[in-house]
Amino acid sequence: MLSTVFAQVSIGPRHVGKSKNFPKGRLDKFKGTETIFVLSDIIDTATYEKILSDSWDITPYKLVSRDDFNILEYIDGNHSFANLEGLHKQKQMKSGGVAHYIYIYIKFYMLDTASLKKDISKLNKDSKKYIKKLNRVISSNKENIARVDLFPKDTFLPTALTSETSVIMDTIYSKDVFYNYKSGFLKNYFQKVNNQLKDGEEYWMYENDYLPELKKLANNTLFIPNYHLIKFNPWKMKASDNKEEFEEVLENYDHKFQFQDENEIDKRILAGEEFYYLRFVRVNSQKFIHIVNSKTGEIIYRNYVAGMLSSYNLKSRHINDINSKIKKALKK
């Protein structure tokens, strides 16, 4: 059984459970830091620089490769971080089965440096377990800012389910294993995080809502990245071509839509074009359905859907919900 509990974009001190406001002073502290971005090798430095120059101005920033990154060099209290994290956990169920938990995301955070230094001073550097304990105290002293969850490609899931955390980490930093880790998509994600933090507002992703801007879809094309045409079978852990079936699902959409290769969508976002696209992220039986303004990165529609394992893909009812919200937006 495959199961996880996280969202597509979460901005706040907590990303699971119940929403919570930032502790007093945390955002001011964050705004006074330099953010160290440690991102995947699949995108070149020049492109990352363009993405960040177009999307990130809440803090100064610096790109650092994973090979060159040592977090202990940045525990002076003047830094924040954005890096990929991934792990695989298992839990024995009462039924006798095993539930697998896969967590993969870009995490934005700071460190409680005073507490961290104190905890590090208590560690025995000569111990065989020093590195493991060091990682544990670093993790326990992280102060959450935001998180962008990544949508693993179906071909990567078997690796993630059968590998140690270290193998998962090596893979996510070196290989193209996510549907939503594209330069344009990242630009829009970073814009949303940046702008939300500048406004001093949390963003809880287990929500269903829309903005008045959604009414523009009545006269504008909704672009659908081609990865939506892939159908995943959770029981066989296999993916297949879903084009004919998904085209039937999209026939329920009341307005104009167009399928487009995600690489083309990516180029258009980076070029600064303004259009609207569907951004679907599946986290096992949970679905996060967004419609995004490609120029601003704003999420003008979001629908969180929790379902059974058999409901891994978009259905007609999800398209009907978009129709319904467009109608409501037009009436306002």
Is 100 or 68 the better-scoring residue by pLDDT?
Answer: 68
110-139 mean pLDDT: 93
pLDDT at res. 7: 41
- Does position 229 have pLDDT exceeding 50, yes or no? yes
Burial 302-312 (b: 16+ CB within 10 A, else e): bbbbeeeeebb
CA atoms within 13 A on the CB side of 304: 12
- Residues ≥6 apart with Cβ < 8 Å to 19: 12, 202, 204, 206
Average pLDDT over residues 100-107: 82
**Tell me, what's the pLDDT at 308?**
53
Return the closest-CA partner of residue 77 out of 122, 40, 117, 132. Answer: 117
For residue 153, the tally of other CB atoms under 10 A from its CB is 18
pLDDT band at 155 (very low <50, low <70, confident <90, very high): confident
Percentage of the chain modeled with pLDDT above 70? 86
Residue 283 pLDDT:
66
For the purposes of burial, counting CB atoms within 10 Å of the CB of 5, is it exposed (0-12), middle (13-18) or buried (19 or more)?
Answer: middle
More confident residue, 94 or 189: 189
- Map tokens 């629908």 to a residue: 303
Query: pTM here?
Result: 0.91
Query: 1-10, 89-98, 303-312: which has the highest mean pLDDT?
Result: 89-98
Sequence-separated (6 or more) residues with CB below 8 Å from residue 206: 7, 19, 304
Q: What is the CA radius of gyration of the chain?
A: 20
- Using the 8-state DSSP alphabet, how is residue 234 labeled? T
- Residue 240: which pLDDT band, with cuts at 50, 70 and 90? low
Residue scoring higher pLDDT (304 or 5): 304
Please give the DSSP secondary-structure letter assigned to residue 73.
Answer: G
* Digit-coded pLDDT (tens) for 157-207: 888 888 888 888 999 999 999 999 999 999 999 999 999 999 988 776 677
**CA-based end-to-end distance of the chain:** 44
Looking up tokens 């169920």 gives: 93
| pLDDT exceeds 50 at position 2 | no
Residue 94, amino acid: K
